[in-house]
A and B are shown apart, each in its own frame.
Chain A
Amino acid sequence: MATYMCMICGHIYDPSAGEPVQGIKAGTAFDQLADTWSCPVCSAEKRLFQKA
C-alpha cells in the first residue's frame, strides 16, 4: 500500500503502521481514511497529502 506525504509538514502516512495516536490501525490504506482526517503532526487536511 502506498505511503503519502503531508505537503505542509512532510509527515509520512504509512499504511503498514497506521496512526496509533489517532487510533488508526495498521493496515489502513490512505483512501480508507475519512475525508475529515487530518495530519497528526500539523493538522493539515487530508487533501494536502500526496503520494510519497
Chain B
Amino acid sequence: MTGIDMTAREIVPGVFSVGAIDWDRRLFDELIPLPQGTSYNAYLVKGEEKAALIDTVDPAKEYELISNLCRMGIERIDYVVINHAEQDHAGSLPMILEFFPDAVIVTNEKCKDLLIALLHVPAEKFRVIRDREKISLGKRTLQFIITPWTHWPETQLTFLEEDRILFPCDLFGSHIATSDLFMSDERTTYVAAKRYYAEIMMPFRTSIRGYVGTVRGLNPAIIAPSHGPLYKNPSFILDAYADWTSDTVKNEVVLPYVSMHGSTLKMVDYFTDALIARGIAVKPFNLSKTDTGELAMAMVDAATVVIATPTVLFGPHPLVVYATYLANLLRPKVRYASVIGSYGWGGKASETVVKMLDHVKVEVLEPVMVRGLSDETALRGLDRLADEILKKHQELNLV
C-alpha cells in the first residue's frame, strides 16, 4: 500500500494512537520474518497545559506520523518521550524536531547517548530523567521507569498515572498489522506476541522476568506497546511473559534439521517417532523451508534441542550453522542439547555445532553421528538418545 494508511485514534479522551501501520513489510532487520506485517505505535498525550508525544515511527513512515498530527490540528508538542533509541521508534525524531522545533526530548542518560550516536540529535534538545521521575502535563502525569535490558541497555517504560496507561515500547509488543486498536483475537495475538518475545526479548529473559513484577505493581489499566495491538486486559500479556521468562520448561524436543541425500532425514524420521513413542512432544523443522521466527518460538519453552545435520565437506551444513548461531544468540532456556546426523567420509560436524552453543547453558547429550545410511545398529543409537532425553525429562518432572 502507499499513501496514508492510518489516522489517529483515541484510546481515552486526550490520549491518542498516532503511529503508522506497515501492512506490507515482510522482513525486519533483514532478518526477522514479518508474516503479518507490523505497526510502529506512537502516542500523543494531551494534558491541560502540555502535550507529549511518546515515541515516533520508523523513518519509512515518518510522513504518516506528521500527517496524523497535522490532521488532529496539533500545533505544539512540548515533550517527545523516547523510551528506546532503535530507529523503528526513534528514527522519525529528526523529522518531528523539524516540525516542532521547541519540543524537548525526554529520556534517560543512556538513551540520550544512543540517540546522539544513531541519529545525530543535538545534545541541547534533551531533558534527562532519572528512574521514577515524573513530568506533569497539567492534570496528567508521566512517570518514567528505567528498565535496562528489556531489549537494549537504554530501554525505559512510561506510565501515564491518571489514566493508568503503560507505554513500554518494544516490551510486550507483537508484529501484527491490524486495524484493531485493541487486541480483538486472543489466540492470534498470543502467538504473535510469543513469536515477538522469542525473536526480540528472549536473550533478556532474566532481566525481563523482574520487570514483569514491576509492571504488575503499577496496576496498569491499558498496556500500549510500540508494535501491534494494545491490551485492555494487561494480565493477558503479563501472565504470558511470566510464563515465558520463568525457568519452567516443557516436555518438548525441538528438532531443526537439514538433509541433502536422505541419510539424515532417515534419522530424523526415526528419531521423531522414537520421541513420540516415549510421550515426548517433538517439533521437527526442515531448515531449508523454515521461517526462523517459528523456530525461535518453538525454543521459548522446550526442554531439549536436538540439531540434525549432514556433513558438508568437513563440517555441518551452513543452514544448520545459521540456525545454531541464532539459537546461541537468542539463548533459550533449553536444558539439554544434542546433535544427530550423517557423514560420508569424515568431518567434525557435531563437534562444530556443540562448540557454537557456548552462550547457552545446556548439558550436551552424547551426539549420534552415523556413516552413510543408518542401519539397525545406528538406529539403536537414536533409541538410546531418546531414552536419555526421556530420563532427563523425567528427572525434571516433565513427564
Residues of A at the B interface (CB closer than 8 Å) are 5, 7-12, 42-45, 48, 50, 52
Contact = CB atoms under 8 A, between A and B. Distances in A.
Interface string B359-399: 11100000000000000000000000000000000000000
B207 A7 contact: yes
A8 B149 contact: yes
A8 B361 contact: no
Contacts of A10: 328, 331, 358-360
B204 interface: yes
A8 to B, nearest CB: 6
Contacts of A44: 149, 153
Contacts of A43: 153
B234 interface: no
A48 B360 contact: no
A8 B204 contact: yes
Interface of B: 148-149, 153, 203-207, 328, 331, 358-361
B361 A48 contact: no
Contacts of A11: 359
A50 B361 CA distance: 11
A45 B331 CA distance: 18
Given A42-B153, A43-B153, A44-B149, A8 B207 contact: yes
B149 A48 contact: yes
B77 to A, nearest CB: 32
Give the 7 A-B CB pairs with smallest separation, nearest first.
Answer: A10-B359, A7-B206, A8-B149, A10-B331, A43-B153, A8-B204, A48-B207
Given A7-B207, A48-B206, 11 more contacts: A5-B359, A8-B149, A8-B203, A9-B203, A10-B331, A10-B360, A11-B359, A44-B149, A48-B149, A48-B207, A52-B361
Contacts of A50: 206
A14 B314 CA distance: 31
Nearest to A10: B359
A4 to B, nearest CB: 12
B333 to A, nearest CB: 11
A20 to B, nearest CB: 19
A7 to B, nearest CB: 4
A14 B188 CA distance: 44
